Amino acid sequence: MKRIVDYAQLFMKEYLKDGDTAVDFTMGNGYDTLFLAKHTPHGKVYAFDVLEQALKNTKAKLSWEGIENVELILDGHEHAERYISRFKVGVFNFGYLPGNNKEETTLLKTSQEAVEKALKRLERKGVLILVLYPGHEQGALESHYFSSYIQSLDTYYYECFTFKMENKTDCPYIIGIEKKREK
Ligand SMILES: C[S@@+](CC[C@H](N)C(=O)[O-])C[C@H]1O[C@@H](n2cnc3c(N)ncnc32)[C@H](O)[C@@H]1O
């Protein structure tokens, strides 16, 4: 099997067309930011993180590839509405920066707030991808919450799916939320 983050990118690619706006709500080391930027070279990508180290690592990756259609934002994704309006594809890859302090992880309260706000800004026929890690404490809270949250979303407005390996406990998995109609 591919890694879960590779599957997440396959889903993003399915929805993203050149010229679209995309948002990486958890920039980290910039792999998803770079992926999104390459798939919408005439569009724009916004990327958020609370750690300067994440911006530094991502900036280096983008400049190495000569990519300029990205705005890196040092702020929490729960404040994303201050910087973005509408977007077609968004990704939350929850957790902590690999190789960094595991305590500096995404937290349920701000993750909840950020996803709810992001859904309001999501374009029709766009998708929000959540990559969840139930194998650590905060990740377990997030996955428990979002797995039931998607069941509460009205099917008139949203279609939700889960992509998960079923014969392994606590492995990372993907939730996708596609917007069918504006409220
Ligand atoms: C698993 S990493 C993301 C990996 C990234 N997508 C990549 O391609 O390398 C999660 C990131 O979320 C960041 N984070 C934690 N809380 C955040 C918040 N409130 N807003 C934005 N990013 C946050 C962490 O600092 C960490 O860098």
| pLDDT band at residue 95 under the 50/70/90 scheme | very high
Fold of 4-179: Rossmann fold (3.40.50)
Rounded CA-CA distance 23/126 in Å is 11
Cβ–ligand 1 distance for 104 under 6 Å, the answer yes
Per-residue pLDDT tens over the stretch 102-115: 888 999 999 999 99
Per-residue pLDDT tens over the stretch 59-77: 999 999 999 999 999 999 9
Question: How far apart are the CA of 130 and the centre of ligand 1, in A?
Answer: 12
Question: How far apart are the CA of 156 and the centre of ligand 1, in A?
Answer: 31
pLDDT at 98 over 90: no
Residue of 6, 26, 74 with the most ligand 1 atoms within 8 Å of its CB, for mutation? 26
pLDDT of residue 99: 82
Per-residue pLDDT, averaged over 52-57, amounts to: 97
Question: How far apart are the CA of 63 and the centre of ligand 1, in A?
Answer: 20
Rounded CA-CA distance 82/84 in Å is 6
